Amino acid sequence: MKDGPPERAPRRQARRIATERALVAAVGAVLRRDGMHGLGVNAVAAEAGADKKLIYRYFGGLPGLLRAFGESADFWPDLDELLGPDRAVLALPTAEMGAEIVRRHAAGLRRRPLTLELLAWECGHRDALTAVLEDVRQTISEALIAEMLAAGHHVPRGGRVLSSLFAAAMNYLAVRGRDIARFGDLSLDDDGWDEIGAVVGAAFAALLDAREAP
Amino acid sequence: MKDGPPERAPRRQARRIATERALVAAVGAVLRRDGMHGLGVNAVAAEAGADKKLIYRYFGGLPGLLRAFGESADFWPDLDELLGPDRAVLALPTAEMGAEIVRRHAAGLRRRPLTLELLAWECGHRDALTAVLEDVRQTISEALIAEMLAAGHHVPRGGRVLSSLFAAAMNYLAVRGRDIARFGDLSLDDDGWDEIGAVVGAAFAALLDAREAP
DNA sequence: AGGAGCAGTCACCACCCGGTGACTTTCGGA
DNA sequence: TCCGAAAGTCACCGGGTGGTGACTGCTCCT
């Protein structure tokens, strides 16, 4: 964060950094406990055991603190998680690769309750935090595409659109799955997610095959 | 609403019904103006030009008023909208029919700002209003399936899953499209939605053909 | 005619929010 | 050593919230 001189930090500065970290961590704790609607300077300061005034002094206000939080945590499945060890997923045929990435994306979301909370929050609001999240997402997305190109994959336009469509569906279903058990014909338990993954694979295969060989 | 005796309603009761209607309508107005986060007894009462106490007297509180509102408005594309005049969409081949319903679903959502607001709200909260909305949605969904069966369509399991997947994607993209211009490889303007519709059609066709004739 | 009851009004409460000015304590450099 | 500055504390403000008790005045039924 900031640019604290690493060499021999005086006790003063060490203390400050400690409370800064406590505040940032408190954001996560409050978020987990009360969700986004319970997030305020009072709650965060109480959780951190610090005074809320320090939020203004150190971060300029809640948005600044949220920005620091957003940059500190791992909200999104990173490349290792999406592509597996040694980028193994890139070695699959294109259709399987697309499906596998979508599946891993969904699984990564579902095991991050905080990310789901923020994803839900994004649906209804637009503020500093959501902007940070979008930045991070965009970065990962671009890196992913670069990896695929470097691995020699060529995904036709329709395949890329289908990927985005499925990613949107995963986001929505992962968020809603916290509250509801079914959506349309889908059940949102582990078995249901397995079935979703299977159909995603079938759709990718069918669409890309149809494009390649008619 | 309720069951006001149609024959010669006394002026008292007429007045009450009028303010009840005003309160319900005010919910919609506030929702349109300030979104869900600005919805409270104070705002609604002010908008309706009535006293907030009447919300408690007539509806038992905000949740009751929201319930009345949810039952009064047309939030979702109904069967006529999804299937077209004379159920024309049912006459299409199964794959085209599925794609067309998804497209009409998306279009219906996009032209209902209130529905999008509530859809976004649903992502983060669970209360009386969301329960009502889910009831209505479920009812429409079941009616839709009944119509398709009655028209002689047989949709395999994968097709139904794909429909739900696309419906989830449409919900998410329609909601997010209010705030962001792009999602992954999709642009969320009119042209982008046309492309989405095309890919949805291609995916349905590819998946259902692959199932029928391998 | 007249009184009971209901629609509607108003003031008020307690509570929680974000934000700030004034203060005390503690550290560290000249 | 000592003074300035930074860390941290506390009380307070204005404002908005949901919710309620006490009231007026009209209406409708007997």
The contacts of residue A201 (CB under 8 Å, 6+ apart) are A95, A96, A99, A103
pLDDT of amino acid B37: 87
Nearest nucleotide relative to B14: CA against C1': C7
Please indicate, yes or no, whether residues A48 and A140 belong to a single structural domain of this protein. Answer: no
> What b-and-e string marks burial along A136-157, b requiring 16 or more CB atoms within 10 Å of the CB?
bbeebbeebbebbeeeebebee
pLDDT of amino acid B212: 54
Please indicate, yes or no, whether residues B83 and B186 belong to a single structural domain of this protein. Answer: yes
The DSSP H or E segment spanning A140 is: helix A128-150
Own/partner long-range contacts of B106-111 (Cβ < 8 Å, ≥24 apart): B106/B170, B106/B173, B106/B174, B106/B193, B106/B196, B106/B197, B107/B77, B107/B193, B108/B76, B108/B77, B108/B81, B108/B82, B109/B77, B109/B170, B109/B171, B109/B174, B110/B174, B110/B177, B110/B193
In angstroms, rounded to a whole number, what is the distance separating the alpha carbons of residues A122 and A134?
10
Which residues of B fall within a CB distance of 8 Å from A203? 162, 203, 206-207
Whether residue B102 is contained in a domain is answered as yes
Return the CA Rg of chain A: 21
Q: Is the pLDDT of residue A144 over 90?
A: yes
Please indicate, yes or no, whether residues B196 and B91 belong to a single structural domain of this protein. Answer: yes
How many other β-carbons are positioned within 10 Å of the β-carbon of residue A207? 25
In angstroms, rounded to a whole number, what is the distance separating the alpha carbons of residues A172 and A138?
18
Over range B201-208, report the average pLDDT: 96
Determine whether the distance from the CB of B141 to the nearest atom of strand D is below 7 Å.
Answer: no
Query: Which chain B residues in 147-176 lie under 8 Å from chain A, judged by CB atoms?
Result: 158, 160-169, 171-173, 175-176
pLDDT of amino acid B75: 82
Please indicate, yes or no, whether residues B83 and B181 belong to a single structural domain of this protein. Answer: yes
Whether residue B6 is contained in a domain is answered as no
Q: Is the pLDDT of residue B211 over 60?
A: no
Please indicate, yes or no, whether residues B131 and B161 belong to a single structural domain of this protein. Answer: yes
List the single range of A155-169, A177-191, B126-140, B179-193 with lowest mean pLDDT: B126-140
Please indicate, yes or no, whether residues A36 and A136 belong to a single structural domain of this protein. Answer: no
C-alpha distance from A180 to closest chain B C-alpha (Å): 9
- Phi, then psi, of B106 in degrees rounded to 5: -60, -45
Please indicate, yes or no, whether residues A175 and A134 belong to a single structural domain of this protein. Answer: yes
**Closest chain A CA to residue B175:** A123
Number of domains in chain B: 2
* pLDDT single digits (tens) A25-69: 999 999 999 988 889 999 999 999 999 999 999 999 999 999 899
Q: Is the pLDDT of residue A127 over 80?
A: no
Six token digits for residue B52:
């907030």
pLDDT of amino acid A26: 96
Determine whether the distance from the CB of B8 to the nearest atom of strand D is below 7 Å.
Answer: no
Over range B22-45, report the average pLDDT: 93
Cβ–Cβ under 8 Å, residues A54 and A114: no
Q: What proportion of chain A, given as a percentage, has pLDDT over 70? A: 93
Estimate in Å the CA B93 to C1' D14 gap, whole number: 65
pLDDT of amino acid B158: 95
pLDDT range class, residue B40, cuts 50, 70, 90: very high
Length of chain B: 214
Residue among A158, A173, A195 whose CB faces B202 most closely: A158
Six token digits for residue B119:
């859809």
Determine whether the distance from the CB of B43 to the nearest atom of strand D is below 7 Å.
Answer: yes
pLDDT range class, residue A91, cuts 50, 70, 90: very high
Over range B160-165, report the average pLDDT: 97
pLDDT of amino acid A59: 94
C-alpha distance from B127 to closest chain A C-alpha (Å): 11
pLDDT range class, residue B126, cuts 50, 70, 90: confident
Please indicate, yes or no, whether residues A168 and A185 belong to a single structural domain of this protein. Answer: yes
Domain that holds residue B45: 11-69
Determine whether the distance from the CB of A21 to the nearest atom of strand D is below 7 Å.
Answer: no
pLDDT of amino acid A177: 95
Task: Name the nearest CA neighbour of A168 among B130, B38, B166.
Answer: B166
Task: Name the nearest CA neighbour of A165 among B70, B93, B183.
Answer: B183
Please indicate, yes or no, whether residues A66 and A89 belong to a single structural domain of this protein. Answer: no
In angstroms, rounded to a whole number, what is the distance separating the alpha carbons of residues A139 and A144?
9
Six token digits for residue B76:
């979702």
Six token digits for residue B160:
């139904």
Cβ–Cβ under 8 Å, residues B95 and B205: yes
Give the mean pLDDT of chain B: 89
